[in-house]
């Protein structure tokens, strides 16, 4: 018998934090970049973070820029 989950709510649409705040990711804003990196320092994919395609591309570029300037770590030892 196949169980169908009728009561399952539709997934809530995530809103891009950068579109909401009307600002673009920038490498000097370490606090907001850190929110979009995982515990090991990896960039969080947009399916998990809810960032739109345009801002995800900018975010990846700015995180890499910040890593090169040693503002963010490339990896974190766990």
Q: Interface residues with Zn ion (CB under 5 A)?
A: 16, 18-19, 52, 55
Decide: residue 20, CB within 10 A, 0-12 exposed, 13-18 middle, 19+ buried.
exposed
**Which is closer to Zn ion, CB of 56 or CB of 76?**
56
CB 46 to Zn ion: min, Å: 10
CB 42 to Zn ion: min, Å: 20
**Which is closer to Zn ion, CB of 16 or CB of 44?**
16
37 contacts: CB under 8 Å, gap ≥ 6: 43, 44, 63, 72
Say how many C-beta atoms besides its own lie within 10 A of residue 19's C-beta: 13
**Which is closer to Zn ion, CB of 6 or CB of 62?**
62
């Amino acid at each position: 018998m196949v169980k169908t989950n009728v009561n399952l709510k539709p997934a809530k649409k995530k809103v891009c934090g950068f579109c909401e705040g009307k600002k673009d990711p920038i490498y000097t804003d370490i606090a907001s970049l850190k929110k979009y990196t995982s515990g090991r320092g990896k960039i969080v994919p947009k399916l998990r973070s809810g960032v739109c395609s345009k801002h995800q591309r900018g975010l990846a570029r700015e995180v890499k820029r910040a890593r090169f300037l040693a503002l963010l770590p490339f990896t974190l030892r766990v």
